[in-house]
Amino acid sequence: MKSPDSPTRNGSYDLWFNLYKLKNCWVLTHPKIASSFMDEYASRGASASLQYQIQFGEGFKYIQSCHASELDPSTQEPNFSNEWESLLRGEEIDKKIIFLTRNPIHKFITGLLQDIVLPQLNPSIISTPWYLESMIDEKHDPVLVDSFIREVEDGRIGDFGGQALFPDLDVLEGKYKDLYESTIKHTLDGYPKESGFKAVYDSIQDGHRTQLQLELYNFIIDPPTGFNIKAIKVVDIHKEDLQLILESLGEITPQAILNENEKKKNIHERSPILQETIRKILSEHGDIINKLILPNLYGWVNLLKIIYPTDTSDKKATVDNPIHTLEKFQSKQYLNNPFKEYSDIFNPEFYFSWMDRTYCRDSLYENTIPFEYNHKKD
């Protein structure tokens, strides 16, 4: 493998982002990188958000398009294009521009879950004769399958956005563990082993799986000539507290988010059981997934090296110092072995351990407690 100090561009893609207009800053991100949080943060009501779609051209040298998101198509184009042109001339602007990033492996897994698994699973599907037959064909005990179906049906407590909460489970009896895994795996039949290398590669650039960490890294180390790079801030959403960063810039956190914090609930996070199950299933294809994501992983760890060269965290993130501790950052990664020292966060080999099947957290599964459900979404 190449050194993480010398990543190469992984192709020519549209440099598009979700753009959020706040009072004192612009935030650019992609789906599955705090996008639901930003939707809520920039919300102007139940269905309106100050969100735009922006597309850069030729390595951020110009803005190809900027338009309102589908959430609020009547919204006029923001002033971002003028601000970006000012930066290209080396000038100062009043607002900070923040690009968000995260571990591309973790982003890919959660994006695959969002785009492929969840649309195919809900209690209605579990209740069909097709599902019963499919699981029996997978050699599961018919009595256990029938019990599983009844637990799902009886445990349904409501819908979120028109979709039932299964399979986003908070609690799962250990006896259903293998059956639950087969249920999730059924939605991924043929992916990616029956797809060509190019098809799988292209799929990473679609929907919630979009990856541009390498392009962002290249922009930071080699911006257009004369560009005022000091106006740009890159934030890893698991290394820094985004809410605290925005507050440090004078933004006011919406009450709805503060209420969620008080309840210590993150409605935009999928349950550990669902995340662990999809990770375990995809680990069978870990080699090809790692190969596909490798350039972006190198881009990402080099971004970490630039943004967080040393550990400046305190015991708890604050407005004055929103950096998370090494332990907090590690808890958000799929690691089979813990970091031994701070510099380990720059070593790609640690992140490759996501595919180690011995990582499986059996402590997630209960032996006696029945299904429970939660309104977690993202």
**187-208 per-position pLDDT tens digit:** 776 565 545 545 655 555 555 5
pLDDT at residue 3 above 50? no
Q: Which of 100, 104, 102 is nearest to 234 (CA)?
A: 100
pLDDT at residue 291 above 80? yes
* pLDDT (tens digit per residue) in 12-65: 447 889 999 999 999 999 988 999 899 889 876 544 457 888 999 988 999 988
Q: How far apart are the C-alpha atoms of 2 and 300, rounded to whole Å? A: 14
Q: How far apart are the C-alpha atoms of 104 and 329, rounded to whole Å? A: 14
Q: How far apart are the C-alpha atoms of 345 and 85, rounded to whole Å? A: 35
Residue 70 pLDDT level (bands cut at 50, 70, 90):
low
What pLDDT does 201 receive? Answer: 52
166 near 156, Cβ under 8 Å?
Answer: yes
| Arithmetic mean of pLDDT, 171-190 | 81
Tokens, residue 357: 């099947």
- Residue 176, beta-bridge partner list: none
Portion of the chain with pLDDT greater than 70, in percent = 75
17 near 244, Cβ under 8 Å?
Answer: no
pLDDT at residue 303 above 90? yes
Burial class (CB in 10 A: 0-12, 13-18, 19+), 230: exposed
What pLDDT does 223 receive? Answer: 96
Tokens, residue 75: 């919204």
* pLDDT (tens digit per residue) in 71-115: 555 555 668 999 999 999 999 999 999 999 999 998 888 888 877
Of 183-192, 225-234, 300-309, the poorest mean pLDDT is in 183-192
| Arithmetic mean of pLDDT, 244-253 | 95
55 near 63, Cβ under 8 Å?
Answer: yes
Domain ranges for the chain: 15-103+210-268+294-343
Of 39-53, 140-154, 341-355, 360-374, the poorest mean pLDDT is in 360-374
209 near 282, Cβ under 8 Å?
Answer: no
What pLDDT does 355 receive? Answer: 85
| Arithmetic mean of pLDDT, 226-236 | 97
- In order, the DSSP letters of 73-116 are TTSPP-SHHHHHHHHHTT---SSEEEEEE--HHHHHHHHHIIII
What pLDDT does 173 receive? Answer: 80
pLDDT at residue 370 above 70? no
pLDDT at residue 133 above 60? yes
335 near 355, Cβ under 8 Å?
Answer: no
Residue 267 pLDDT level (bands cut at 50, 70, 90):
low
| Arithmetic mean of pLDDT, 139-157 | 80
pLDDT at residue 162 above 70? no
312 near 238, Cβ under 8 Å?
Answer: no
What pLDDT does 71 receive? Answer: 52
Q: How far apart are the C-alpha atoms of 145 and 151, rounded to whole Å? A: 10
pLDDT at residue 11 above 70? no
What pLDDT does 119 receive? Answer: 76
